[in-house]
Amino acid sequence: MKVLTAKGGEYQISDDLREKLVLLDDGRLFIAKSYSFDPHVRSFIGRLQHKNVNYTIHNADLAIIANYYQDKSNQEDHSDMQRAAKQLFEKGVSLRASDIHIRVSKRGRTQIFFRVHNDLEFIGEKPFEYGDQLCSTIYQAMADVSDSTFEQLSRQDARISEKSKIPENLDGIRIATSPQVDGYIMVLRLLYNDTSDDLSLTNLGYSQTQVDSVEFMKKRPTGVIIIGGPTGSGKSTTLQRTLGSIIHETSGRKHIITVEDPPEYPIPGAVQTPVTNADSEEARSREYQKAIKAAMRLDPDIIMLSEVRDNPTARLVVQAAMTGHQVWTTVHANSALAILNRMMDLGVQPELLSDPTVIAGLICQRLVKKLCPHCKRPLSQHMDEFNDKDIRRFMSVLKDMDKIFVQGHGCDKCRGSGTSGRTVVAETIVTDNKLMKFIKEGDRIGAINYVKNEQNGISMLEHAIIKVSEGLVDPFQAEDVVGALNTVIIERDHSILAEEIR
């Protein structure tokens, strides 16, 4: 008989409540006679009713309830799986993986992948039952911020932060699950704790001019600074380092409140508030909005919101900026100026988006692999290996081909990958009245020219070209992230002619 309320079982309850009741997998719910009307017992019954669980209540002595928990086999199974999970986490950390993907298929197999330097690497294959038990254990027995049960057919989020359950190199692991056609997938984001030791944006890959722009944004007393980019582009790391630097520079005099769903990296000195345990996306959105409103009432100097995700959130972000707060947040967008389009798409009024006291700064970034310095190869010595059209395209943009390197075949230093970490390519824009006049008039080309010619701004493409020219990045890998390098020449007149792409 399976005990559903055992430690690591389907229903996580406190040790105190475990003394008062036990739920078996045949639906029998044994409750100690003297605790029939205990509020915690009644609350557990409410959970079962909410989940439409079929159960029958039986009164029992405390000794009978305790006997059911004497069977350790269920707990031992979870203990074995916890050890397997931790070994998986440690292997991911040893390869500096950013994510672990566990694809559980009812066709009879579980596939495990690591994302290393933005590429998925196949790690191994296990039976369906192994993956199902592994995911169940990770979610129910190891996560400390999660829904009460793991449901294969639901999209769920959770977090593991208890230090005994994760490698010492991590601050936590963020969990996201989703059903798929023939099973489900669990993705684990590994949150490394060395990110809080280094507050430098330069070390992330930002140029000195871009760092100066962010420093200027930090000094603006009000307005929202928005960091854009696709999923996995390092937005959270940039946000964490920027807020950490503000706390360090002001010796903690600024009251910083974050609203995160869920919290990722620790920001020592900030009050980090989570949004969790919502049963649906609608409920999660409501809880997120409530947390933002609560944060605004807690006398903050700076508010950080992990993401602008919908119309109510976008309006609250702007409202917070208009009521005298400095706000930092992120959004999925393709370029710095496209952030404004995304905010408009989320329902923010155009006149507010063209006010530099409301929108104080725009940042957009992506990540590009860095070449291993020990085995990278000079392009000039290997041109015969590549297509002539590609070489001509590079030569039209890159001035000194002798300084251009391509990925090597791998060595001991880079674990045979040919690459060594990733670097940011970014755009930063400090908003002002002149720029916002172009935005208000819908003159996108005028805005682009103003940023480039009068603010000396560079695009992510131009930033990537600089790094290719310095021999830090493979030109082919740069193009995978920012597009054809010669686009920077083709689009000088904001048009692309047929003969220019042949």
The domain segmentation of the chain, as residue ranges, is 15-68, 74-193, 198-370+425-458, 376-409+459-502
Q: What is the CATH number of domain 74-193?
A: 3.30.450.90
Which tokens is 84 given? 């397997």
**Residue 400 three-state SS:** coil
Cα 470 to Cα 228, 401, 405, 474: the distances in Å are: 25, 10, 9, 10
Report pLDDT for 73: 46
Cα 100 to Cα 97, 173, 240, 448: the distances in Å are: 7, 10, 22, 39
**Nearest to 429, CA basis, from 311, 310, 333, 344:** 333
Cα 317 to Cα 220, 303, 357, 363, 416: the distances in Å are: 16, 9, 13, 16, 45
Common-topology check for domains 74-193 and 198-370+425-458: no
What's the CA gap between 153 and 151, in Å, rounded? 6
pLDDT tens readout for residues 390-415: 999 999 999 899 999 999 999 999 88
**Owner of token pair 């674990």:** 415
Given a contact cutoff of 8 angstroms between Cβ atoms, the answer to whether 90 and 105 are in contact is: no
**Residue 79 three-state SS:** helix
Mean pLDDT of 413-427: 92
Lowest mean pLDDT among 80-94, 142-156, 365-379: 142-156
pLDDT tens readout for residues 240-284: 999 999 999 999 899 999 998 777 778 889 999 887 655 566 777
What's the CA gap between 243 and 324, in Å, rounded? 18
Dihedral over Cα of 288, 289, 291, 295: its sign = positive
**Nearest to 143, CA basis, from 90, 105, 178, 188:** 188
**More confidently predicted of 241 and 71:** 241
State yes or no: pLDDT of 85 exceeds 80: yes
pLDDT tens readout for residues 200-214: 999 999 999 999 999
Report pLDDT for 192: 87
Report pLDDT for 280: 64
Q: What is the CATH number of domain 198-370+425-458?
A: 3.40.50.300
Mean pLDDT of 342-357: 93
What's the CA gap between 144 and 45, in Å, rounded? 22
Share of the chain above pLDDT 90, in %: 61
Mean pLDDT of 488-501: 77
Given a contact cutoff of 8 angstroms between Cβ atoms, the answer to whether 116 and 417 are in contact is: yes
